[in-house]
Chains A and B, each alone.
Chain A
């Protein structure tokens, strides 16, 4: 039994589906490896999705490079707490540029899902010998890095505003979303990185 006083109730799959509802050519999506990749794919694979199968720690940097190259498009990075913990400095780099078109959503289940649900640093302290973290607050880190609009979402009543902020609010927008630990079906996009990159550029630029 978790001692986490605010156990998560939000489910990542329907949440990501809502985040991507009605996605058009103006929405460019990058997802981190593992669950976030399967989540955006379950919502509907599309050329303007760039789901990563590796490169842990890369999504926020990719999102920033893309947001600067395409300032008139909305860029949405969706990744997990483990991935975000591996590239905390990238949040400070985002803050040096303050891209108005970038939104970052971290789905925080407090676990390293791909390796067997070991606790990440965002897990609470004193959660037993094998399941304790440090209670690391990634939204507070994002604010500390210089991204003022960085908040935490825990409740289904906040999801409508979350979707609106992520899709259209002046960025950079950072949202930490506390989600349940779930065992979900793998819904896999194509794996070939060159293909994923080429189809993305073809859809965005008209050439690979």
Chain B
């Protein structure tokens, strides 16, 4: 088999999907897993990138952006999902498109026991709030999965979460992006 051309980094591919879907606002709490994507958004002239004090802020921001005619994405870590749950009802109540990408912890080879409860609870609580779940474990499936999630959200009007599994991100390596 001939060598396949080198795939762009999956985080750069997510940024391409954001541009394809005309994402205008990106919200995040600083996160190592999303770090490279966050920096790409911060450098972009077409995307407004906001750091939040807590993940919960991302839901009403997305609602406000949609009221004003703009699409947004919330980037967070599984440990932040629990902070959002009451307001995660807003996409259902107002019936607006909502997309969040979640880097998983407490998922696969996690060394930190404090990450397990919310990591393991993440899919269940999101399902309980009526959020559609997509899950991706390998780099070559990231782009198609995030694209499908964006279509379900912005064309299908759903609240959608993509779980970027720890197998994809890698076991946390402190001090390195």
Contact = CB atoms under 8 A, between A and B. Distances in A.
B96 interface: yes
Contacts, number: 114
A63 B68 contact: no
Q: What class of interface size applies to chain B in its complex with A?
A: 20 to 34
B69 A65 contact: no
B64 A194 contact: no
A69 B68 contact: yes
Interface in B51-78: 51-54, 56-70, 72
A201 B59 CA distance: 18
A95 B15 CA distance: 26
Contacts of A90: 53, 57, 60
Contacts of A60: 60
Given A93-B53, A96-B51, A205-B69, A65 B60 contact: yes
Contact of B65 (A58, A66, A204): A66
B93 A61 contact: no
A194 B94 contact: yes
B24 interface: yes
A69 B57 contact: no
Given A58-B87, A62-B61, A92 B67 contact: no
A68 B53 contact: no
B25 interface: yes
Given A96-B50, A193-B94, A62 B25 contact: no
A94 B25 CA distance: 14
B53 A65 contact: no
Q: What class of interface size applies to chain A in its complex with B?
A: 35 or more
Given A89-B54, A193-B95, A204-B67, A64 B87 contact: no
Contact of B61 (A28, A61, A73, A194): A61
A200 B64 CA distance: 11
B48 interface: yes
A90 to B, nearest CB: 5
A106 B118 CA distance: 34
Interface in A179-198: 193-194, 196-197
Contacts of B52: 89, 93
A87 interface: yes
Interface stretch (A49-57, A111-119, A136-144): A49-57
A194 B54 CA distance: 26
B129 interface: no
Interface in B1-45: 24-25
B174 to A, nearest CB: 26
6 contacts: A54-B89, A58-B90, A61-B63, A68-B25, A69-B70, A97-B50
In the A-B complex, the 5 residue pairs with the smallest Cβ-Cβ separation, listed nearest first, are A65-B64, A69-B68, A89-B53, A61-B60, A58-B60
Interface of A: 28, 30, 50, 54-70, 73, 87, 89-90, 92-93, 96-97, 193-194, 196-197, 200-201, 204-205
Given A65-B63, A194-B95, 7 more contacts: A57-B87, A58-B60, A61-B63, A65-B72, A69-B69, A87-B56, A197-B95
